[in-house]
A and B are shown apart, each in its own frame.
Chain A
């Protein structure tokens, strides 16, 4: 059945992605006519029901947008609402500086658990021809056990700082309800040290995978901070000259309610589709990586710019290594703050926040009213930003691989989507478009 010039590829249930989606590709006379990443995740209207809630509540509520990356939502919400209320936590004296470090530590934990889940359980099966990470364990038990231990170490970090791995309870505006004790963080040192070895082994293992050929030239958008690999702070930059304050994001990125797909697609006003996530962070901040991470990258053949999206699995591994080392650095220097949270009294105003979720830039904007309640909320999740780019990747990949057997091609197309670790549950902007499709 290979090599036909007309074909309809339809994968009704995308596996190994967070949330629910489907894929449709239509080819006629050897031309790719239509590519759709369809998402039938029901809308949940977070931006609507956030209105009228107290200014401190979005921190917990928006976490529920995504069970895989709740910390990202909590961090973007905190920074945006603190901005609205005129509080700069990181600049608020010695306690603010410690809280800033704790926020980075919490984020390290989320990057580790989210990246490792994707590498070992969602992405690796594609390269090795298995249905799941659990199936890989049958043939590679030690590697999968190591990956589980690594993931557990990430969850342990989130749990120590946040109280629990999913929807942490300890985050609040201004900082934390209770600062972790030295002993609670010291308990992480051993597991993180073991995790580092597992991580290096995992990176070397994935470096041996066979990567399908696909070369892309994207506009890569991420935060950039002056002195460190970014989590919570920095300007929004790209490899094509974008360099803006977070507050200018909506002036440059427009959301479209596209009828043929299922999400609000984000595009740069000036140049169209763009790419967020590990490859963008990596390219835009490569000079800020510590030497051990760069050395291992060089060993496994990862340069400053990765233009084959299938190789994102390597960059996720390297970012995991960075997160482990960064977590150890923060823990080693930790002295509990006097105040676990800087006060953030409600104040009428508008505020902006963007942080680096594991799968890319996550933007929040809030308007707080005179009554201290949320008057308006806007949330732009990473997968909505990547969706036009994912479809472009699919278009290019299918056009170059029409000779493949259809079943193989369909599987590879799913892999093209999984390259982005799409988080379809980030449902603020995802909608059910069955009406339109049928």
Chain B
């Protein structure tokens, strides 16, 4: 009956914020909903249509044996699979468990650790199945989400930033926090897309869009050391919302953070 492309929204370990970004597109929501069939979006609708799906939007990271299996099933049923945000693209903040004593982590929160089925690691979707497109950010930028959905529907590649946050700071004519004020800022190694949000609020970038392509984290680390930032503090700066992304992980470990 319908010829509209079917879209499914899936949740793994996450805060719901990235899929909420879709409902936060107040001006575009009804228009987007008119162009696609929302076949599976439990947070927004109780109608659940079985697959296959033309487009799957996946939020969250893989942290349980069950979810490791579920993402494979979703991949099998999906045409284009797009990951949304830091959890899905790099493992998210919950990847701070990786490399730690997971049994101790469980026991710290739960009285009956034997009830908990969890993996020792939080890993990105792409560690488990092929991913066609990824949207960065903690959370994603809703304008990028609309651009990506529009592009996929039109059969063209989405226009997404590939440069660092620095480029966006320059575009907004922000004074450089790192140079002018000596504020530690991950902007030089972080992919843009946020329109240099944090520097525009007088704070250093904390890397929520993850590493840009070929980031020079070693050079930035030297700069932080020169500013008097301690080794552990540098480690924590990289071990954040995208700490399990290889470039940030390596920088964190170099600074002595165990990941």
Residues of A within 8 A of B (CB): 13-20, 40-49, 53-54, 57, 60-61, 64-68, 70, 113, 117, 121, 125, 131-135, 137, 144-145, 148-149, 151-152, 155, 163-167, 169-170, 172, 177-178, 256-257, 259, 264, 340, 414, 425, 427-429, 431-436
Q: How far is the CA of A15 from the CA of B18 in the complex (A)?
A: 17
B197 at the binding interface (Cβ < 8 Å)? yes
Whether the pair B23, A169 counts as a contact (CB closer than 8 A) is: no
* New A-B contacts (15) at CB < 8 Å, excluding given A16-B43, A16-B45, A67-B14: A16-B42, A42-B63, A47-B109, A53-B236, A64-B17, A67-B18, A137-B30, A163-B197, A166-B17, A166-B20, A167-B139, A178-B203, A264-B110, A428-B109, A432-B117
- On chain A, the residues within 8 Å of B48 by CB distance are 13, 15
Pairs across A and B, CB under 8 Å, 29 listed? A15-B43, A15-B45, A15-B46, A20-B11, A41-B13, A42-B118, A43-B110, A44-B13, A67-B14, A67-B15, A67-B18, A67-B20, A68-B16, A68-B20, A70-B17, A132-B38, A134-B33, A134-B44, A148-B30, A152-B27, A163-B197, A166-B139, A169-B206, A177-B198, A257-B115, A264-B111, A414-B46, A427-B15, A432-B66
- On chain A, the residues within 8 Å of B109 by CB distance are 43, 45, 47-48, 428-429
Q: With A68-B16, A166-B24, A170-B201 in contact, is A45–B43 under 8 Å at CB?
A: no
- On chain A, the residues within 8 Å of B198 by CB distance are 163, 169, 177
Q: With A64-B241, A178-B202 in contact, is A19–B108 under 8 Å at CB?
A: no
Q: How far is the CA of A53 from the CA of B237 in the complex (A)?
A: 10
Q: How far is the CA of A435 from the CA of B113 in the complex (A)?
A: 11
Q: With A57-B236, A67-B16, A149-B26 in contact, is A431–B42 under 8 Å at CB?
A: no
The A-B contact count (CB < 8 A) is 195
- On chain A, the residues within 8 Å of B46 by CB distance are 15-16, 125, 131-132, 414
Whole-angstrom distance between the Cβ of A98 and the nearest chain B Cβ: 17
Q: B108 — nearest CB in chain A belongs to which residue?
A: A48
B92 at the binding interface (Cβ < 8 Å)? yes
Whether the pair B110, A177 counts as a contact (CB closer than 8 A) is: no
Whole-angstrom distance between the Cβ of B257 and the nearest chain A Cβ: 10
Q: How far is the CA of A40 from the CA of B70 in the complex (A)?
A: 13
Whether the pair B138, A167 counts as a contact (CB closer than 8 A) is: yes
Q: How far is the CA of A121 from the CA of B33 in the complex (A)?
A: 13
Q: Which 9 A-B pairs have the closest CB atoms?
A: A67-B17, A132-B45, A15-B46, A257-B111, A49-B96, A131-B47, A48-B105, A152-B26, A67-B15
Whole-angstrom distance between the Cβ of B193 and the nearest chain A Cβ: 12
Give B77-108 as 1s and 0s: 1 = Cβ < 8 Å from A's Cβ atoms: 00000000000000011101100100011101
Whether the pair A13, B108 counts as a contact (CB closer than 8 A) is: no
Whether the pair A133, B44 counts as a contact (CB closer than 8 A) is: yes
Q: With A14-B42, A425-B16 in contact, is A165–B203 under 8 Å at CB?
A: no
